[in-house]
Amino acid sequence: MRIDIISVLPQMFTGLIDCSILKRAQEKGLAEIVIHNLRDYTVDKHRKVDDYPFGGEAGMVMLIEPIDNAISHLKQQRIYDEVIYTSPDGEVFNQPMANQMSSYENIIILCGHYKGIDYRIREHLITKEVSIGDFVLTGGELAAAVMADAIVRLIPGAIGDEQSALSDSFQDNLLAPPVYTRPAEYKGWKVPEILLSGHQAKIDDWKLQQAMERTERLRPDLLDKKY
Ligand code: ADE
C-alpha cells in the first residue's frame, strides 16, 4: 500500500513515520509513505500556498492551484482509492475505517492548515474528509500521521504476531483485557492467578470477561455500536 501525504510542514513527519512498526512495514515493502512538500507545487517565486479569504474573514486560506498541481501530479502516476482531506468537520476516524483503508492500494492525504482550504478543492478533488476527533489541531499533519499509523499496522505482516492486531481494543467493539509480564509478583502486587494456571480455555474466558467488564465500565458507548 502507498500513502502520499501532502503538507506545508513535511518536517513534522520526521520521527513519526520512520520508527517502529511503520519503519518495519516500509522496509519489508508492505507500505510506502511518501511526504510531499506543497510548496514544491507552487507557481510563483515566493512559493505562496495561501491567501486572504474573499469576504474578509480572519485567517488565511490555502490556494487551489498548488493543491490541484500536487494531486494531479500524483494521479498521473497511479490510481488512488481515496483522496482524503484532514479536517475537524470530517467523518470521525475509527477502527472500521482503518480496517477498510488498510485494504486499499493507494491513498492521498491532504493536510489542512490555516483557516481551511479553498472550498472548490473539497468539492472537486477530495473524495473523503476525515477528522481524528472533536477538537481542533493546528494542522492536519498529526491527523495524517495518526491515520497512517492505524492503517499500516493492520496490513498483513506489518505486526510480527498478526493475531495481536486482530485482538486490539475496538476490533470487536471491546476494550482489550489487561496484560501482565514477569515478575509474577512485585512489591506484593500479584498477577491474576488464572493467567499462570496454564488452562488456555479458562484464560480465554477470563480475558473475554475482563474485556466486557472494562468496556461496560469505561466505554459503555462501544457496546451500542453496530459497525
Ligand atoms: N485539522 C484540525 N483539526 C483536526 C482534527 N480534529 N482532525 C483532523 N484534522 C484536523
- Nearest protein CA to atom 8 of ligand 1, as residue: 131
Residues contacting ligand 1 via CB (< 6 Å): 86-88, 112, 131-133, 135-137, 140, 143
Q: How far away, in angstroms, is 47 Cα from ligand 1 center? A: 24
Residue 226 has pLDDT above 80, yes or no: no
State which ligand 1 atom lies nearest to the alpha carbon of 86.
9
- Nearest protein CA to atom 2 of ligand 1, as residue: 137
171-197 residue pLDDT tens: 789 999 999 999 999 999 999 999 999
> How many whole angstroms separate alpha carbon 185 and alpha carbon 12?
42
9-61 residue pLDDT tens: 999 999 999 999 999 999 999 999 999 999 999 999 999 999 999 998 889 99
State which ligand 1 atom lies nearest to the alpha carbon of 87.
9
Confidence of residue 163 (pLDDT cuts 50, 70, 90): low
Place of cell 495518526: 146
Which pLDDT does position 167 carry in this prediction? Answer: 72
> How many whole angstroms separate alpha carbon 75 and alpha carbon 53?
28
| Residue among 92, 126, 132, 138 to mutate when testing ligand 1 (max atoms within 8 A of CB) | 132
Amino acid at 128: K
Contact 110, 139 (CB under 8 A): no
Q: How far away, in angstroms, is 140 Cα from ligand 1 center? A: 5
Q: If DSSP states are collapsed to H, E and C, what string results for 2-53? A: EEEEEECCHHHHCCCCCCHHHHHHHHCCCCEEEEEEHHHHCCCCCCCCEECC
| Residue among 136, 138, 142, 147 to mutate when testing ligand 1 (max atoms within 8 A of CB) | 136
C-alpha distance from residue 101 to each of 106, 133, 148, 219 (Å): 9, 18, 10, 25
Q: How far away, in angstroms, is 65 Cα from ligand 1 center? A: 22
All structural domains of the chain, each given as residue ranges with its CATH number in brackets, are: 2-152 (3.40.1280.10), 172-226 (1.10.1270.20)
